[in-house]
């Protein structure tokens, strides 16, 4: 994670996907959020370890697509991995 927060974005099939992370305590606890099309769809708090955020991409007339963000928070940084329907998609740090 950056000094106090992270923000990553992706676009998939016309949908905007954002992953936000921010430090919430001096002890290293953090809050992570998944935002799809400007709506927060999942949120979790934790410190060191692995976490997963989940959501769906919904388009009228189409089946919903599963979104998963895997988070690995370590002492020296945080890694984010975005999967849509089980396929890894690139995230851009903003």
Is the pLDDT reported for residue 70 higher than 90? Answer: yes
Report the C-alpha gap between 90 and 66 in whole angstroms: 16
Q: Which two tokens stand for residue 23?
A: 């430090």
Of the candidates 81, 74, 87, 86, which has an alpha carbon nearest to the alpha carbon of residue 34? 81
- The domains of the chain are located at 5-89
> CATH number of the domain at 5-89, please?
2.40.128
Going by C-alpha positions, the residue among 27, 7, 26 that lies closest to residue 69 is: 7
Q: Are 93 and 78 in contact (CB under 8 A)?
A: no
pLDDT at 48: 87
Q: Where are the alpha helices (DSSP H) in 1-94?
A: none
pLDDT of 74 over the 90 cut: no
* Confidence grade of residue 2 (pLDDT, cut at 50, 70, 90): low
Three-class SS of residue 1? coil
């Amino acid at each position: 994670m950056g000094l106090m927060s992270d923000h990553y974005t992706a676009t998939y099939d016309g949908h905007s996907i954002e992953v936000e992370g921010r430090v919430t305590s001096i002890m290293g606890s953090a809050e992570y959020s998944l935002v799809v099309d400007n709506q927060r769809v999942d949120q979790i708090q934790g410190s060191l370890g692995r976490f997963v955020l989940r959501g769906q991409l919904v388009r009228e007339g189409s089946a919903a697509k599963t979104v998963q963000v895997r988070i690995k928070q370590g002492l020296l940084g945080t890694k984010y991995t975005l999967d849509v329907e089980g396929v890894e998609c690139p995230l851009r740090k903003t």
